[in-house]
Structure 1
Amino acid sequence: MPLIDVTIDGETHQLEAGTTGTTWFAGRREVVAMSVDGTAKDLSAPIPDGARIEAIILDSPAGLEILRHSATHVLAQAVQQVFPEANLGVGPFITDGFYYDFGNIDAVTPELLRDLEKRMKRIVKQGQRFVRRVVSEEEARRELADQPYKLELIASKGGHTAEGAGVEVGGAELTIYDNVAPDGTVVWKDLCRGPHLPSTRLIGNGFALTKSSAAYWKGDQANDQLQRIYGTAWASKDDLVAYQERLKEAERRDHRRLGAELDLFSFPEEIGPGLAVFHPKGGILRHAIEDFIVTEHLKRGFEIVYTPEISKGGLFHTSGHLPHYADTMFPPMTVDEEHDEDGAVTRAGQAYYLKAMNCPMHNLIYRSRGRSYRDLPLRLFEMGHDYRYEKSGVVQGLTRMRGFTQDDSHIYCTPEQAPEVIRELLGFFDEVLSAFGLSDFHLELSTRDPEGNNQDKFIGSDEDWAQATQVLQDVCVSTGLDLVADPGGAAFYGPKVSVQAKDALGRTWQMSTVQYDFNQPERFGLEYTARDGSRRRPVMIHSAKLGSVERFIGVLTEHYAGAFPAWLAPVQVELVPVAEAFDGYVDEVARRLRAEGVRVEVDHSDDRFGKKIRNAATQKVPWTLIAGGEDAEAHAVSFRFRDGHQENGVPVDEAIARIAAHIRDRVNTDEW
């Protein structure tokens, strides 16, 4: 046999031509697939000459994706055991799990989920092999003749992957995966790109079905309604249990639940979906956050502006938002329309839109007078109130809203100044997020799709996009932070870098963003006078540090499980007299604390002393100060901390100094 030269896990090897991954990795049970020049492949695939091969381990991110996608085939097989006439949709892996869409099945009940899970376990134990076959379009149609959605995928050969489901549509080849029983019988099949695990047995017992929901074929409400079944799959039972515990903890930390328990905010039905009201305690929390971020902008030379929340539609046509963003803007309202006695229009009205973004109005402020190179960089900042027409089904508490506030800034600068401006903003992001205890993050660079997909959603020349993308990438690389690519995720007017921060549960949230915009200065005719007297276009750098203030509060509430650091806590100190006789004493301590800017409540209720202590703990107050006879005589208080431990007999002067310093220094833990 001829020999081929390959690199496997960083080492050079000579192999016989035709050697498969199965043969090479036979001694490594943890290897479930292989990466061939960056593309995941089945172990059964031959290793090509000159390839760079890397093992894919079951519990690696790539291995878990393959595990979860393999689990979708087992789920679909189980469903067709119960409903032989079921129509198969798509079944991709998703973050932490998978789903599969089905038509022509009964409503999914908890009892059905339990039955399907049992059937899946039996299929897994059978050790069915996943066998890939390349088929012609005609063969695929013949084999899947009873599956209308699969036939539609085959017919729509447009060179894309359907819903991430691994279905090769319009590529060089169509592939079907057979599930082959130990006796060689093909027991099930699906149109799929793969790759898959070598055997269902490798799915093990680390999976579970979690829920079901309605879905539409291809996500279009005009299409058939389907039943979507969700599941999760992990490399081991222990990993599954750990994940389920994280879900329980996430439920305990849900900001909507805590918002009600701590009396922070609510979502009245009378106002409508995606719109929140902040109660006094939530209001002071929000004020503390907004006051901090405004102060930090002023320190860095930003100038505060204010703009209306409604505007003529022409403004958003100029900016490009209406042509490219209309479906996320609220429908217009007609203003100044006049009618005669019969109701006929005698004067046409003007369409006005709720503001979905602040940048068009900031452009008008820039354009309001002549600008010189000496004015640049010009830093405009606004706590802007914006409105976006999110569908009612996708709004979620404070994290996905229709009305929200952005700490939005726009920096106008020369192209030469742009790299340093962006570098300073990334440093600003770091300082802000670290101040709130969110210092574990990486960067994500969102660009146009390099494959050329959906190019009609972007505006501007290839040259401008390339330059803007390169500037952002170079600055990000220079920071030394991890940088992840997000092809196709850019705004329509330019590439974007976002900070992806981890919370206490390890979940990732998009926080700060910076965008390089070469389009709006052109569309609004923005200019500055250069040093040589010529008129030139500035570059516009969009950025938000918190993003949406409301969303940031939602994330922060879950990160701290409602036990906010003292500098943010709505009530920083709760004073509890042991008996009514000491009311005057604790009132005086409260007065002195308030004089130092500390947010204080005194519990003068008729509740028993023990219940007062429990109430303060339930409200997650950082410090409960208790005073009785010995404390009053010694001009002292007793500290009770959130973790339950107590420090008695602390002199009042010392207690006030310690509390004030802790708050002033913005310490994010309860430790002194």
Structure 2
Amino acid sequence: MNITLKDGSQKQYEAGISVLEVAKDLSEGLARNACCGLINGERVDLRTTLNEDCNLEILTFNDQDGKWAFRHTAAHMLAQAVKRLYPDVKLAIGPAIEDGFYYDFDRDKAFTEEEFAAIEAEMKKIAKEKLPIERFELPREEAIKLMEEAGEPYKVELINDLPEGEVISFYRQGEFVDLCAGPHLMSTKPVEAVKLLSAAGAYWKGSEKNKMLSRIYATAFTKKSELNEHLEKLEEAKKRDHRKLGRELELFTILDEGPGFPFFLPKGMELRNTLINYWREIHKKAGYKEISTPIILNKDLWLTSGHWDHYRENMYTTVIDEMDYAIKPMNCPGGMLVYKTKMRSYRDLPLRMGELGLVHRHELSGALHGLMRVRNFTQDDAHIFMLPEQIKDEIKGVVRLIDEVYKAFGFKYKVEVSTRPEDSMGSDEAWETATEALIEALTDMGYDYKINEGDGAFYGPKIDFKLEDCLGRTWQCGTIQLDFQLPERFELEYIGADGEKHRPVMIHRVVLGSIERFIGVITEHFAGAFPTWLAPVQVKVLPISEKYHAYAAKVQDALEEAGLRVERDERAEKIGYKIREARMERVPYILVVGAQEEEEGKVAVRSRENGEEGQMDLQAFIQRITEEVQTKYNYLVGKQA
């Protein structure tokens, strides 16, 4: 039996050897650190036996799939600890997630953080017990009986939901047994560095029609030092939380009268409008024409687009003049109608139409999160209508535009290609052509990319751009979707060079993703200390006493005449107090004015970057900050607070 390893080398083994035994043959150190295996791309247990030629990778905690197996084991240990301490609790599900894991429990009352210490201690005890982990399978009837006798109704329901013929597997560690597909570690021993992070409510199966369960979020690492480093990052993330900074900096708020519907305050609107002006500037340069389409359109449109059949549960609907209407969850159908307002020629293509369109999507209340997950948001959409031979060049143009914007804000990013989902429309041939076009464009441009099988939109494959912020967290923002379906459904046409009618191809794309979410991301990325060009207040003028209010007003007028965003603090407070407050507001520049400044036409400059800089001629300061803003200096060179 030939086994092809990750480096391309081949080794021969007798059939029946386990993944762990192969790891031991390769290296004792590798075997000690192994978490799971990958056989022909499928994640498997170390205890899995090999019986035929295959490709094999041995995965450690350094691999994402290795982390997944490690933390999935930790989730079972969490459930085991909870059952030991609170035997009446019922088990739901407990998957690994990015940077950690969670487990959902049915309990009369929610878990409190005060209970976390006891649960953590029990988990560490389970690790010290070095419990071997065993996998076993049962026929459906026996599996149901086992979970019924254990008093686990949620597990019974999960088994009943499995399709006929599905393998029903369990994992046992000591007295604890859980329904699970795996994979898991070989024992509980390696999982010593654990931390319970928070408790939250979660609906069973994610449906608000079901019972609310108690969810515990946690994380686990192989080393205490790695756990501590991660916890420090989480503490830093709390300081940067855009919801906290949004309140402190008076950018936005979300009120009980509109859960998931953000209110932007004056300073937030300054930030938002500056971002939108930048968006308009780069899109005009890239040859886009801006349009605006209605928020509410009738059912017939959404039937034609496919949203009524494929997306209705996420849409808000209403009745007008005895006809069904929907508030748009996406801008694209309106863009189709704009295209159809007149007959197009091949000479008109590519046609790039951009729209800052307000869309509404129904999100579960438990999923709402500040500006990151809302029920209404402004998508910086664009739709590009083109000839088939223009596809690759247009995709490349969008990739270049997205790259320019992300680098301008100092973001690194990764690229993923998402392929056809199960719930989709269109022919296999169209999907294959579309997917190949996306991959070829990325390959031509030298991009590394990951394939996300089955994660495309229902009308076409897509390229997703995952931003990485200064804490190493990733955010889904930009996307490019190639679509052969909607032009067909809306019967879009153009007159070709041959004088005949043809069907255009289209691209859906966003750069920022949504204005609201992007503001949330950059608020956390910059910790509220926005680059000068973007800051809601760029300069704060502080007179040292009432005697110099008139000069402070004169300074403010001169700055505003130069197009700068300025505030003046004339409160009867000590100057030191006013300076500290202005610093807390992350204002890029503070100007203090008193007798000497008024007499000499100067200002005492304090900058966020350099601290106290001393006196400067007012006109010289205006020239300096104006040049900084005009060239977008701070973000173009990637500086952060």
TM-score, normalised relative to structure 1: 0.88
Q: Which amino acid is 1:442 matched to?
A: K
Cα gap change, 1:423/1:605 in structure 2, threshold over 3 Å: closer, same or farther? Answer: same
Q: Could you report, residue by residue, the CA deviation over 1:525-553 in whole angstroms, capped at 9, with x for unpaired residues?
A: 11001101111001121112212111111
The answer to whether structure 1 residue 6 and structure 2 residue 9 are counterparts is no
* Separation of aligned partners in 1, 2:490 and 2:592: 62
Q: Please give the secondary structure, in 2, of the residue aligned with 1:416.
A: helix
Map residues 157-176 of structure 1 onto 2, 5 A cutoff. Answer: 157-158=162-163, 170-171=165-166, 173-176=167-170
Alignment partner of 1:313 out of 271, 294, 299 = 299
- Cα shift at 1:48: 4.2
* Separation of aligned partners in 2, 1:43 and 1:410: 48
* Separation of aligned partners in 1, 2:107 and 2:361: 36
* Separation of aligned partners in 2, 1:107 and 1:619: 37
Matching residue of 2:251? 264
Q: Which amino acid is 2:359 matched to?
A: D
Cα gap change, 1:414/1:214 in structure 2, threshold over 3 Å: closer, same or farther? Answer: same
* Residues 588 and 609 in structure 2, CA contact (< 8 A), matched pair in contact too: no
The answer to whether structure 1 residue 394 and structure 2 residue 354 are counterparts is no
Cα gap change, 1:400/1:33 in structure 2, threshold over 3 Å: closer, same or farther? Answer: closer
Alignment partner of 2:58 out of 50, 55, 58 = 55
Alignment partner of 1:448 out of 407, 420, 428 = 420
* Residues 64 and 235 in structure 1, CA contact (< 8 A), matched pair in contact too: no
Map residues 65-214 of structure 1 onto 2, 5 A cutoff. Answer: 65-103=68-106, 107-146=110-149, 147-158=152-163, 170-171=165-166, 173-180=167-174, 187-204=175-192, 206-214=193-201
Q: Please give the secondary structure, in 1, of the residue aligned with 2:482.
A: strand
* Separation of aligned partners in 2, 1:209 and 1:124: 15
- Cα shift at 1:512: 1.5
Q: Which amino acid is 1:261 matched to?
A: E
The answer to whether structure 1 residue 378 and structure 2 residue 351 are counterparts is yes
Matching residue of 1:460? 426
* Separation of aligned partners in 2, 1:577 and 1:85: 66
* Residues 134 and 173 in structure 2, CA contact (< 8 A), matched pair in contact too: yes
Matching residue of 2:604? 638
Q: Which amino acid is 2:133 matched to?
A: F
Q: Which amino acid is 1:199 matched to?
A: S
Q: Which amino acid is 2:155 matched to?
A: K
Matching residue of 1:184? none
* Residues 437 and 668 in structure 1, CA contact (< 8 A), matched pair in contact too: no
Matching residue of 2:43? 40
- Cα shift at 1:104: 5.9
Matching residue of 1:407? 380
* Residues 442 and 481 in structure 1, CA contact (< 8 A), matched pair in contact too: no
- Cα shift at 1:380: 1.5
Cα gap change, 1:221/1:609 in structure 2, threshold over 3 Å: closer, same or farther? Answer: closer
Q: Which amino acid is 1:375 matched to?
A: D
Map residues 571-650 of structure 1 onto 2, 5 A cutoff. Answer: 571-643=537-609, 645-650=611-616
- Cα shift at 1:86: 4.1
* Separation of aligned partners in 1, 2:517 and 2:61: 35
* Residues 531 and 640 in structure 2, CA contact (< 8 A), matched pair in contact too: no
* Residues 179 and 188 in structure 1, CA contact (< 8 A), matched pair in contact too: yes
Q: Could you report, residue by residue, the CA deviation over 1:395-423 in whole angstroms, capped at 9, with x for unpaired residues?
A: 22222222221222111111111111111
* Separation of aligned partners in 2, 1:602 and 1:223: 53
Q: Please give the secondary structure, in 2, of the residue aligned with 1:332.
A: strand
Matching residue of 2:445? 479
* Separation of aligned partners in 2, 1:221 and 1:281: 35
- Cα shift at 1:68: 0.7
* Residues 443 and 476 in structure 1, CA contact (< 8 A), matched pair in contact too: no
* Residues 316 and 360 in structure 1, CA contact (< 8 A), matched pair in contact too: yes
* Residues 434 and 461 in structure 2, CA contact (< 8 A), matched pair in contact too: yes
Alignment partner of 2:410 out of 413, 437, 442 = 437
Q: Could you report, residue by residue, the CA deviation over 1:264-293 in whole angstroms, capped at 9, with x for unpaired residues?
A: 1222333x1122222221111111111111
Cα gap change, 1:101/1:605 in structure 2, threshold over 3 Å: closer, same or farther? Answer: closer
* Residues 252 and 265 in structure 2, CA contact (< 8 A), matched pair in contact too: yes
- Cα shift at 1:117: 1.8
* Separation of aligned partners in 2, 1:631 and 1:425: 50
* Residues 545 and 572 in structure 2, CA contact (< 8 A), matched pair in contact too: no
Q: Which amino acid is 2:183 matched to?
A: P
- Cα shift at 1:314: 1.7
* Separation of aligned partners in 1, 2:407 and 2:86: 53
Matching residue of 1:31? 34
* Residues 546 and 572 in structure 2, CA contact (< 8 A), matched pair in contact too: no
- Cα shift at 1:370: 1.3
Moved more, 325-334 or 121-130: 325-334
Cα gap change, 1:93/1:650 in structure 2, threshold over 3 Å: closer, same or farther? Answer: same
* Residues 350 and 390 in structure 2, CA contact (< 8 A), matched pair in contact too: yes
* Residues 83 and 105 in structure 1, CA contact (< 8 A), matched pair in contact too: no
- Cα shift at 1:469: 1.2
Q: Which amino acid is 2:499 matched to?
A: G
* Residues 487 and 504 in structure 2, CA contact (< 8 A), matched pair in contact too: yes
- Cα shift at 1:18: 4.1
Map residues 534-573 of structure 1 onto 2, 5 A cutoff. Answer: 534-573=500-539
* Separation of aligned partners in 2, 1:44 and 1:570: 58
* Separation of aligned partners in 2, 1:215 and 1:598: 46
Q: Which amino acid is 1:192 matched to?
A: C
The answer to whether structure 1 residue 251 and structure 2 residue 238 are counterparts is yes
Moved more, 85-94 or 457-466: 85-94
- Cα shift at 1:255: 1.5
- Cα shift at 1:224: 4.9
* Separation of aligned partners in 1, 2:210 and 2:374: 27
- Cα shift at 1:5: 3.5
* Separation of aligned partners in 1, 2:255 and 2:145: 54
* Separation of aligned partners in 2, 1:616 and 1:227: 42
Moved more, 530-539 or 637-646: 637-646
* Residues 526 and 640 in structure 2, CA contact (< 8 A), matched pair in contact too: no
Cα gap change, 1:42/1:79 in structure 2, threshold over 3 Å: closer, same or farther? Answer: same
Cα gap change, 1:393/1:216 in structure 2, threshold over 3 Å: closer, same or farther? Answer: closer
Matching residue of 1:183? none
Cα gap change, 1:262/1:222 in structure 2, threshold over 3 Å: closer, same or farther? Answer: closer
* Separation of aligned partners in 2, 1:374 and 1:663: 39
Q: Could you report, residue by residue, the CA deviation over 1:491-519 in whole angstroms, capped at 9, with x for unpaired residues?
A: 22111212111112211111112111111
Moved more, 575-584 or 227-236: 575-584
Q: Which amino acid is 2:245 matched to?
A: L
Q: Which amino acid is 1:488 matched to?
A: G
Q: Please give the secondary structure, in 2, of the residue aligned with 1:131.
A: strand
- Cα shift at 1:569: 0.5
TM-score, normalised relative to structure 2: 0.92
* Separation of aligned partners in 2, 1:556 and 1:354: 28
Moved more, 229-238 or 573-582: 573-582
* Separation of aligned partners in 2, 1:126 and 1:499: 44
* Separation of aligned partners in 1, 2:450 and 2:6: 22
Q: Which amino acid is 2:68 matched to?
A: E
* Residues 447 and 487 in structure 1, CA contact (< 8 A), matched pair in contact too: yes
* Residues 5 and 49 in structure 1, CA contact (< 8 A), matched pair in contact too: yes
* Separation of aligned partners in 2, 1:18 and 1:311: 62
Cα RMSD for the two superposed structures: 2.4
- Cα shift at 1:225: 4.5
